[in-house]
């Protein structure tokens, strides 16, 4: 990959992030925050972009986009994109699960840690005898997993509460976006594969 090619990829990435992320944020904030209402948004915008590119209405950026889209989807970079998307889905999905478990399963201990770390900034008030949900860890058949679940659930839920819910809000947006982008990517890769792939 040459400098020119890498520069074009950065331009396209910035272009897409600059369009999709703000639209998704506005849509979730002011129109619908339900996950079903979010599906189709990126597909619709992506379809409009593709039509504009095919009709050469986006000028130079359209030509660069068309070139890089083909190289990315059908080239070696495509495999990296798929792996990255899958890992992103796992991360965002598990993070949202941890936030939810911190709020529900470990709510009492989460409040104790939040008060000690964020509100009072006094870690001395955290006493093992005051932890009311820790018994869930000790009573589990898989101590390693339960310890991991306990620590991450409380940590992520504290971060989410400190951000007034914006962490979960952002992860939700990115999760839905990754699902849709991966779907579009795989659709084009399967049904529009050229006879000869273009190396990226």
Position 191 scores a pLDDT of 64
User: 161-171, pLDDT tens digit by residue?
Assistant: 999 988 988 88
- Do the Cβ atoms of 176 and 38 come closer than 8 Å? yes
Of residues 146 and 27, more confidently modeled = 146
Position 192 scores a pLDDT of 60
User: Considering the domain boundaries, does residue 200 fall inside one?
Assistant: no
pTM for the full model?
0.70
Half-sphere exposure of 175 (CA within 13 A, CB side): 20
User: Considering the domain boundaries, does residue 198 fall inside one?
Assistant: no
Lowest mean pLDDT among 48-57, 106-115, 149-158: 48-57
Position 94 scores a pLDDT of 95
CB atoms under 10 Å from CB of 37, counted, come to 13
Of residues 89 and 43, more confidently modeled = 89
Containing domain of residue 34, as a range? Answer: 3-191
Of residues 136 and 53, more confidently modeled = 136
Kindly indicate the confidence band of residue 197, based on its pLDDT and cuts at 50, 70 and 90: very low
User: Considering the domain boundaries, does residue 199 fall inside one?
Assistant: no
d(CA 194, CA 89): 28
Considering its fold, how many domains does the chain have in total? Answer: 1
How many angstroms separate the Cα of 36 from the Cα of each of 85, 159, 176?
20, 26, 9
């Amino acid at each position: 990959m040459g400098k020119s090619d890498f520069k074009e990829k950065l331009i396209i990435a910035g272009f897409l992030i600059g369009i999709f992320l703000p639209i998704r944020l506005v849509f979730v904030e002011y129109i619908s925050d339900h996950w079903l209402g979010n599906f189709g948004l990126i597909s619709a915008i992506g379809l409009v972009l593709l039509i504009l590119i095919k009709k050469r209405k986006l000028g130079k950026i359209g030509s660069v986009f068309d070139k890089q889209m083909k190289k990315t989807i059908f080239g070696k970079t495509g495999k990296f994109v798929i792996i990255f998307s899958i890992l992103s889905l796992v991360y965002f999905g598990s993070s949202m699960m941890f936030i939810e478990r911190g709020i529900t399963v470990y709510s009492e201990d989460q409040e104790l840690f939040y008060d000690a770390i964020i509100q009072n900034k006094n870690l001395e008030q955290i006493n093992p005898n005051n932890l009311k949900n820790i018994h869930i860890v000790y009573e589990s058949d898989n101590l390693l997993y339960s310890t991991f679940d306990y620590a991450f659930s409380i940590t992520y839920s504290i971060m989410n509460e400190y951000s007034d819910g914006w962490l979960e809000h952002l992860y939700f947006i990115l999760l839905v976006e990754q699902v849709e982008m991966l779907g579009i990517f795989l659709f084009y890769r399967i049904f529009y594969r050229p006879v000869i792939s273009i190396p990226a």
